[in-house]
Amino acid sequence: MINFEKIAEEWLIYVKNRIKISTYACYVRLLRTHILPYFKNYEITSIDQIAISQFIEKKRQNGRIDDKGGLSEKTIKDIVSVIKNILKYGEIVYDMKLPGFYRNNFRNTAKSVEVFTEEEQNILEKYIIHHMDPAMLGIMVCLQCGLRLGEICALKWENIDFDKKILSVRNTVQRIYMPEDSKHTKILFGTPKTRASIRDIPVNSFLINYFLKYKKSGEYYVLSENSKKFMDPRSYQRKYKKILDDIGLIYRNFHCLRHTFATRCMEKGIDVKSLSELLGHSNVNITLNCYIHSSLEYKRKALEKIIPNIKLD
């Protein structure tokens, strides 16, 4: 019989040149860190629904490599997807009939997204305006347009159409652990992972005025003052953290800027379809699942709008 590790290694070779290197690196990390330590010595035909369900429960309870609890629902789904792809590969290549699987139902354990309150956002934006420079401008762009960290680091001046007032997201920068050497990282510059992430975002007049102030020739990066080299996302995260420290705001990761943009949009009544496209989500369900939990105050205002229009004598 053929064991799972052999099929997994073959599958990695098969997919390597068919996917983006960042995706490949993610697959290798999930395999080496979570999947192979558990299924390494399993015969492929013995991996059935019971085996996968037991694996999922183990990862849900204590799957983190630092032993500080379980893995997130998204990570577990990604891991299960890799396992099933490997099994499907083995089934096709070795003409084997493997056990069927039903869809794994996950408990609704998704955490509410963390955002800056309106008061915190005002404090941050006022500080940015009074200390404006390219790095500060980038943070304001994320708050006003919902860009991801890699997208703002890859943004060039040529990606901004000043006549039409449109910001075009065409590239991203990310730091990944290299598959061949998990102790070292490499920065990759390339296109976003999904087609939906390649998008055009209308720019409001507030941002356009600051873009005009710092505008350079097209080949320069928005975050790089006098350089044609993009900023390392890790370096930019450090700058962001120092800004929060300087103004006394509690630290929230960089992605919180994007969550804050989306939450403010929901609170102002922007429809979910438009918001989903602005964020570059592949479908509206992702947007709904992330941001359907609005603030209590927003819910209160919404319910005030449906008070019966009845005059009492």
- Tell me the pLDDT of the chain averaged across its residues: 89
Q: Residue 142 — pLDDT band, cuts 50, 70, 90?
A: very high
Domain presence at residue 105: no
Residue 62 and residue 133 in one domain: no
- What is the reported pLDDT for 58? 93
Burial of 47: CB neighbours in 10 Å, binned 0-12, 13-18, 19+: buried
Domain presence at residue 217: yes
Residue 122 and residue 89 in one domain: no
The span from the CA of 2 to the CA of 75, in Å, is 27
Backbone angles phi, psi at 166, to 5 degrees: -130, 135
Residue 56 and residue 204 in one domain: no
Mean pLDDT of 3-30: 92
Domain presence at residue 293: yes
Residue 38 and residue 134 in one domain: no
Q: Residue 184 — pLDDT band, cuts 50, 70, 90?
A: confident
- What is the reported pLDDT for 6? 94
Residue 127 and residue 198 in one domain: yes
Q: Are 146 and 262 in contact (CB under 8 A)?
A: yes
Residue 139 and residue 198 in one domain: yes
Domain presence at residue 310: no
Residue 284 and residue 168 in one domain: yes
- What is the reported pLDDT for 55? 94
Domain presence at residue 109: no
Q: Residue 290 — pLDDT band, cuts 50, 70, 90?
A: confident
Residue 162 and residue 78 in one domain: no
Backbone angles phi, psi at 45, to 5 degrees: -75, -10
Burial of 63: CB neighbours in 10 Å, binned 0-12, 13-18, 19+: buried
Residue 131 and residue 218 in one domain: yes
Domain presence at residue 112: no
- What is the reported pLDDT for 180? 63
Residue 152 and residue 62 in one domain: no
Domain presence at residue 309: no
Q: Residue 22: pLDDT above 90?
A: no
Query: Domain end: 35, 60, 93, which one?
Result: 93
Structural domains in the chain (count): 2
Alpha helix ranges (H) inside 17-72: 21-30, 36-39, 49-62
Mean pLDDT of 198-203: 96
3-state secondary structure (DSSP) of residue 54: helix
Q: Are 123 and 249 in contact (CB under 8 A)?
A: yes
- What is the reported pLDDT for 104? 63
Mean pLDDT of 250-268: 94
Residue 174 and residue 272 in one domain: yes
- Percentage of the chain exceeding pLDDT 70: 91
The CATH number of residue 41's host domain is 1.10.150
The CATH number of residue 269's host domain is 1.10.443.10
Domain presence at residue 219: yes
Question: In terms of residue numbers, what domain contains 201?
Answer: 118-300
Residue 53 and residue 170 in one domain: no
Model confidence pTM above 0.75? yes
